[in-house]
Amino acid sequence: MDAELTGEERAAYTAVVKSAALLRRAVEHSLTDHGDISRVQFEILNQLHGAPEGLRMHALADRIVHSRSGLTYQVAQLEKAGLVTRESSAGNERAIVARCTPAGRALRDAVYTEHFSRVREHFFGVLEPGELEAITTALTKVIDSLERETGALDA
């Protein structure tokens, strides 16, 4: 396979990478300004909000696509702030389950609307009808390919 990208391939790759980085920056500023939390911390609170029974740390890392060591650090910061608790799983003492506290739920709820209004403004709001479906279809193929490769590497 030829390693050189075509002009069209280079433009598409650059557009994906740059748009993701700029969107990430915009929402990170919003989260910092409105909740004094990082995007990763918001994603942790958001995932735990949707799982009242809590999530094992490895499952949480997989859901937010974050390293396990980086996740441990971020959850520890949230725990120090009283937003998350961690405890051993009832069925497996070695497994750690993270749960959102009432304060964590309140913070997530407080920044949720502003966070997603920024996403809507800078992502959904600039797309024409049909483009969202095309982007979703295309990027889902990329995600599936990368997850298959990652799964093969982790096995």
Contact between 34 and 114 under an 8 Å Cβ cutoff? The reply is yes
Q: What is the structure's pLDDT at 2? A: 63
Closest CA to 45 of 109, 89, 118: 109
Q: Please state, as a whole number, how many other Cβ atoms lie within 10 Å of the Cβ of residue 148.
A: 10
Nearest in space to 117 (alpha carbons), one of 26, 48, 41 = 26
10-residue averages of pLDDT along the chain (155 residues): 84 93 91 90 94 91 86 94 90 84 95 90 92 93 87 48
CATH class for domain 7-122?
mainly alpha
How much is the pLDDT for 155? 36
Residue 34: per-residue pLDDT: 87
Instruction: Supply the pTM of this predicted model.
Output: 0.79
φ/ψ of 56, rounded to 5, equals -65, 150
Residues 6 or more apart whose Cβ sits within 8 Å of residue 72: 57
Give how far Cα 33 sits from Cα of 8, 10, 27, 43, 143, Å.
37, 34, 10, 16, 31
Taking the C-alpha atoms of residue 63 and residue 45, their distance in angstroms, rounded to an integer, is 12
Which pLDDT belongs to residue 35? 87
pLDDT of residue 147: 84
Coil, helix or strand at residue 95: coil
Beta bridge partners of residue 84, listed in sequence order = 100
